[in-house]
């Protein structure tokens, strides 16, 4: 049974990077600032839904030091005053398009001075979001099973690096093991979640 009610963001199937495959959607996505902004707003919407879901679950972001010692915990809590015009009570019921095109919500980003800073690329943000949801929903607490889960998730979302590690590719010598890479993605996702709670978001 899933822990989170939010779903992963659909992604295209992985393709060999040497094959020049560009969809019409990708060709047009940077033709205007409006399209660039909409992609950022799309991710912001999903990360906000995730933050609201985590708040319901009383989820804490943990910071650990050497030997895994717990240093601090930060509860995920969305600042409702910042998002007071975002219709948060109904956000979980809506798709991005329904929400974005209705009741002037697309204007909230400029009118509310919601600023996105320089940061992660679109596909990295999507990958981290999906990795976070997949791991949280499927982890068991059993070391061996969760190690296998990390391998499965990496194969799904980072197939090129997965293949390098599995076949002992020379390029893999500086790549971290599956579980370390997955936990790094989870930590990066948590940083974005906490930023979103306070009305901030990394730029595409």
> From CA 15, how far away is CA 189, in angstroms rounded?
24
Residue 119 lies in a domain: yes
Q: Under DSSP, is residue 73 helix (H, G, I), strand (E, B) or coil?
A: strand
The reported pTM is 0.82
CA distances from 164 to 2, 16, 44, 144, 184 (A): 31, 13, 32, 22, 18
79-88, 105-114, 119-128, 154-163: range with lowest mean pLDDT: 154-163
Higher pLDDT, 156 or 126: 126
> From CA 148, how far away is CA 65, in angstroms rounded?
25
17-26, 102-111, 144-153, 168-177: range with lowest mean pLDDT: 17-26
Structural domain range at position 136: 29-202
Residue 13 lies in a domain: no
CA atoms within 13 A on the CB side of 37: 11
Residue 62 lies in a domain: yes
Residue 24 lies in a domain: no
pLDDT in tens, 135-176: 999 999 999 999 999 888 888 877 655 554 555 544 444 445
> From CA 36, how far away is CA 18, in angstroms rounded?
25
Residue 18 lies in a domain: no
Nearest to 83 by CA among 122, 39, 44: 44
């Amino acid at each position: 049974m899933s822990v989170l009610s939010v779903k992963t963001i659909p992604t295209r199937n992985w393709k060999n990077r040497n094959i020049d495959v560009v969809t019409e959607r990708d060709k047009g996505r940077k033709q205007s600032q409006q399209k660039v902004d909409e992609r950022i707003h799309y991710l912001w919407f999903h990360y906000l839904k995730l933050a609201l879901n985590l708040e319901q679950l009383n989820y804490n972001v943990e910071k650990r030091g050497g030997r895994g010692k717990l240093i601090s915990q930060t509860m995920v809590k969305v600042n409702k005053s910042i998002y007071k015009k975002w219709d948060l009570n109904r956000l979980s019921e809506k798709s991005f398009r329904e929400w974005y095109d209705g009741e002037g919500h697309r204007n909230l980003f400029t009118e509310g001075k919601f600023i996105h800073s320089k940061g992660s690329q679109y596909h990295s943000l999507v990958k981290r979001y999906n990795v976070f949801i997949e791991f949280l929903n499927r982890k068991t607490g059993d070391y061996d099973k969760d190690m296998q889960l990390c391998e499965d998730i990496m194969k799904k979302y980072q197939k090129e690096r997965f293949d390098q590690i599995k076949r002992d590719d020379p390029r893999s010598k500086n790549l971290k093991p599956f579980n370390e890479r997955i936990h790094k993605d989870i930590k990066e996702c948590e940083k974005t979640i906490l930023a979103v709670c306070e009305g901030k978001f990394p730029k595409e």
